[in-house]
Structures are given as C-alpha cells and as structure tokens.
Amino acid sequence: MWNWLIDILQYNPEQPLIFSRFFFWGFFLVVLGLYTLVYPHRLLRNSYLFCVSLFFYYKSSGLSILILIFSTVSDFFIGKKIYEAKHPTVKKMWVGLSVFLNISVLAYFKYAYFFTDNFNAIFNTKYEVINHFAQFSNSFFNTSFRVDKILLPVGISFYTFQTISYSVDIYRGQVRPVKNILDFGFYVSFFPQLVAGPIVRASEFIPQLYKSYSVTREEFGLGIFWIINGLIKKIVFADYIAVNFIDRVFADPERWGGFENLMALYGYTLQVYADFSGYTDIAIGVALLMGFYLPQNFWSPYKSQNVGEFWKRWHMSLSSWLKDYLYIPMGGNRSGSFFSYFSMFCILVFISFLAKSFFVFAGFAAIAVAVWILGRLFPSFKKEVDTNINLMMTMLIGGLWHGASWNFVTWGGLNGLGLVIFKQWKKFRPWKNPNHPLVKFSGILITFNFITFTRTWFRGEDWEKSLAMLSQIANHFDWSVAPEVVSSFSNVFWLMSIGFLLHWLPENWKISYRKWFCQAPRPVQLSGFIIAVFVVYQSVSAELTPFIYFAF
C-alpha cells in the first residue's frame, strides 16, 4: 500500500506525467473531483490549482520545480516594484532586472554547454560545465546530485516568456499586479499549458483569476471535443507515423532513397503539427472544463498562402509574443532602434561561437557597418534595411529559442528570409487579385513546400544529416520504388493522407461538426469520448513518446 502511494507521489524520469498516459487522466479526474468542492471560493480555488500544478510539474520534471518556484517568487515581487515605482527610469530598471533574471536562468540551463564548448574551442581552454544548483544543494542539504551535468527543465522556455510578459505588461499599464503570490503562482504554473504552451500573457489570463467559475453545457462539450481531437492527433497520427517511418529515415537518411526521404519530410511536417497542436488542443480542453480560457495556438497553418500568413497561423502564442515583445520594440516595420542593433550584435556573437571563429563575427560586423553607412547616406534605404533586419533578427532569435545549433539558426534564418522575400514580392507581383483560386492554390502549394523544406533543419540531428537528406532527394530520387515503399508502409501513408485531408477541409465544415458535438446530448458526447479513447489507445504500437515541444 505504502509503496504504491510512494510510486504515485515520487518523480520517475522514465514515466513523466504527460497527457497521453492513462495516469494523467486518473490524476485529472481526482483534480476535477476535488475542484468541485473548492471552485466557489476564489482564493481557495486558485491556491488549490497552484498546488496541483506544482505537483504536476514535479512529476514531469523532478527537482526542476525549484527553478519554477524561483521564477514565480522573484517576478511576483519585481512586478510589485514596477507598479509602485513613480519614476519611469526606476520602472525600466525593475523591468530590466526581471528580463535579466529570466533570460539568465534560461541561458544557463539551455545554453551552458553551447557557450562552454565553443569558448574552449575558440580560446583553447578546458573549462567544464558545473551544475551550480546541484552543488549548492549538495553542500547545504546533503543531497547527492551530479554536479557535472545540467538537465534542461521541461517547459522552461514557456514559463520564462510568461513571467517576462507579466513584468512588461505591468510596465505598459496593461495589467495590475496580482493580489497575492498564490494567485501569481497559479498564473505561472497552470498545469494544462505549463510545459508546452500555449504561452499565456498576463493581460489575457490574470483577469480570469478573479472571475467566478462558469462552464455552459456547450463549453463543457467543447472541452471534451478538444481533448478527443488532441489525443487523436498525438497518438493516432503523430506517434504512429513517427515510430513506424519518420524516425527511421531521419536517423540514417543515406540508408534510404530520395523518395523515402522526401516522404519522411512530408510526414514530419504532419507529425510536428499533429503533435504540437494536439498538445495545445488537450490543454485548451482541460482548462475549459475548469472554467479557464487558453488562447488558440494553431489555425490550419498549412492553408497559408505565404510565409507571413503561416506565422500568423502556426504557434500563434509564440509568434504574437515575438511580435509584441521583440519585433515592435525593435522598431517593427517603421525603423530600426538600439534594440535592433544590440540584438544583431548578440546574434553575431552566437553565430561566431557556432562557427568557433571570431573571423565570422568580424566579417558580418564589416557588412553591418557598410549597411549602416549606406543607410546614413540614403535614408529610404535605411528604413527598408532596418525593417528587414528587424524581421531577420526576430526569426533568428525565434530559432535560437528552440536551441543553440546551426540547424536552428538555419531554420530561423530561412523563415526570416522567406518573410523578407515575400515582403518585397508583394510590391511588384503581377496579379491584382490575390484571392483568385489559382493564385490561392499556388500560394498554398509554394508555402507548404517551403515550410516542409525548412523542417529538414528543424528535425535533423545535425547539419550533416540535414544536408545528407537533401542530397538523397536531389541525387538519388527514384519514382520506380514508390509503389513498393507505399505498399510496405501502407498504414503510414494512409494516415498521412487522411491527416492532410482533414487539415485541408474547409473551415466551415470543421466548425459545423465541432458545433454539432458541443450541442449533442450528454450520452452522445460520452459515447463519442469512450469510442475515441478506445480507438486512440488501440493504435498505440510502442511506448508513448513525449511531446516534441517538451524539448524546448
């Protein structure tokens, strides 16, 4: 009995608490059952969900919970100081401290190995990465954590961006500080979206902390619908095609022909969408059952007619966060700013470390100085260049947010380049009606294939394997093997076809069947849920895989 209870309460790195495990749904049923007792009392409700969220995070990431608590406590008190400060300079200093602390913690856990390894390569030193948090714990609490290894806390990028938005929104006057640390802790750690988003801004979520619980019959049905939708996307589509085809090809692209590599790329484009949007669908559904609204994070992104539209439909909470807290402060499409050039300097330092050479930094710096001089001589050229620099810096930083590697720099840079090229193309494209069916179709086709092409670097383990995959597609493509490959992996190709077909269904069709389910009688909803769960878990062919964005 006691061993069973200890197993439930103890963190097991081999079995993290994720939406696709049965244990999570047992956990959620218990949470929801106790929630019915506390929801009428606002402070008790928020405190209860804060404690539940901390337990969820502990079961997902172990003692990394201490980092989450540190971010919560520090930004709670900094937020109060920002609000109480009377002088604008003092307010800016407190906002700066919040950004510095959050980015420092994120950089330490996410980029420590990157900086250390490349610093050693450039300066011929032999520094080693030390986990100072583990060292501190071992010294003061007599623990025995490894001090030579730093593990990335699950979801650190997501809750770091949330706490930064809280400080900035208070500074901008868009939100007032929360009344107590339990309310703020609930905002930061709300378990449905804690480890993989969507990123929830303070101005969107904090007002919900003080509203009474309310879930209509249709909202309850919608919550159930999103949970079913997310589980099907993750387990039936994403996991199955990954385990049975995509992972095999990406692990050794040179072992497979060009056709298989190309199909794996298209398959990964579907997988990453089904995996990530599946997570956020479940998160939105679980939150809705408890009376809270999370922002939409995906809107049929592969229907986009250009790269700009794609980034308005894909990972919408991150795209809008980068726009409002990075791109616009840089100057947006108006002009450049000190922030633009400081960001460019930081990116150049990153790239120099990746290249293990400061000659790369010097070369890029020389180009930047030349562009700056031309901008001073020709003001119209300066504005055009500044706005393009802002776009490129935003996308490069978005790439580095995912990880410090040439692959993510390439992926972010290609998407930035796509945005810049489309921005210029709009000025002289020959057709006047962008809504013509042929124009829309060609736009969707080009955008979809461009995004799929960039996934080579997003998914690839390193630059060499990414180039090997493209080389196989370009040099060893053989249509004659297609029937045999499709036959050998028939289930995978059927699922890919169905997945893309469902994605490209007209939006009004999707709204119609979603609305029908929400308004259906409870027995119909319950039956649909049971059948969906049975079908979903019957399709599991291997150990359940973590969600892709847990790594970020």
Burial class (CB in 10 A: 0-12, 13-18, 19+), 330: buried
Angstrom distances, CA of residue 128 to CA of 59, 160, 475: 30, 26, 42
Catalytically annotated residues: 402
Higher confidence at residue 448 or residue 86? 448
pTM of the model: 0.88
Residue 501 has pLDDT above 90, yes or no: yes
- Location of structure tokens 């007619």: 305
Would you mind telling me the total number of residues written for the chain in this entry?
A: 552
User: Encoding tokens for residue 410?
Assistant: 């390439």
Residue 470 has pLDDT above 70, yes or no: yes
- Location of structure tokens 């001073």: 376
**Enclosing H/E stretch for 58:** helix 42-61
Q: What is the arithmetic mean of pLDDT over 136-159?
A: 71
Residue 450 has pLDDT above 90, yes or no: yes
Q: How many CB atoms lie within 10 A of CB 44?
A: 13
Residue 1 has pLDDT above 60, yes or no: no
Q: 458, 548 in Cβ contact below 8 A?
A: no
How much is the mean pLDDT over the chain? 83
Burial class (CB in 10 A: 0-12, 13-18, 19+), 408: buried
Residue 197 has pLDDT above 80, yes or no: no
Cβ neighbours for 458, distance < 8 A, ≥ 6 positions apart: 272, 402, 407, 408, 411
Q: 250, 433 in Cβ contact below 8 A?
A: no
| Distance separating alpha carbons of residues 56 and 97, to the nearest angstrom | 29
Q: Given this model, what pLDDT does residue 67 score?
A: 87
pLDDT, one tens digit per residue, over 23-38 is 888 888 899 889 988 8
3-state secondary structure 379-390: HHHHHHHHHHHH
If pLDDT is split at 50, 70 and 90, which confidence band does 109 have?
confident
If pLDDT is split at 50, 70 and 90, which confidence band does 220 have?
confident
Q: 273, 496 in Cβ contact below 8 A?
A: no
| Distance separating alpha carbons of residues 28 and 286, to the nearest angstrom | 9
Cβ neighbours for 248, distance < 8 A, ≥ 6 positions apart: 256
| Distance separating alpha carbons of residues 546 and 549, to the nearest angstrom | 8
If pLDDT is split at 50, 70 and 90, which confidence band does 141 have?
low
pLDDT more than 90, % of the chain? 29
| Distance separating alpha carbons of residues 412 and 105, to the nearest angstrom | 23
Q: Given this model, what pLDDT does residue 502 score?
A: 93
If pLDDT is split at 50, 70 and 90, which confidence band does 372 have?
low
Amino acid symbol at 400: L
If pLDDT is split at 50, 70 and 90, which confidence band does 113 have?
confident
Q: How many CB atoms lie within 10 A of CB 259?
A: 20
Residue 479 has pLDDT above 60, yes or no: yes
pLDDT, one tens digit per residue, over 64-93 is 888 889 999 999 999 999 999 888 889 989
pLDDT, one tens digit per residue, over 424-437 is 887 777 766 777 78
Q: Given this model, what pLDDT does residue 353 score?
A: 67
| Distance separating alpha carbons of residues 535 and 522, to the nearest angstrom | 20
Residue 348 has pLDDT above 90, yes or no: no
pLDDT, one tens digit per residue, over 295-334 is 989 999 999 999 999 999 998 988 888 888 877 777 666 6
Domain ranges of the chain: 2-213, 215-304+438-552, 306-433
Q: Given this model, what pLDDT does residue 334 score?
A: 66
Residue 144 has pLDDT above 70, yes or no: no
Q: Given this model, what pLDDT does residue 245 score?
A: 93
If pLDDT is split at 50, 70 and 90, which confidence band does 233 have?
very high
Angstrom distances, CA of residue 70 to CA of 98, 197, 380, 454: 12, 20, 47, 36
pLDDT, one tens digit per residue, over 155-187 is 888 888 899 999 999 998 888 898 889 999 999
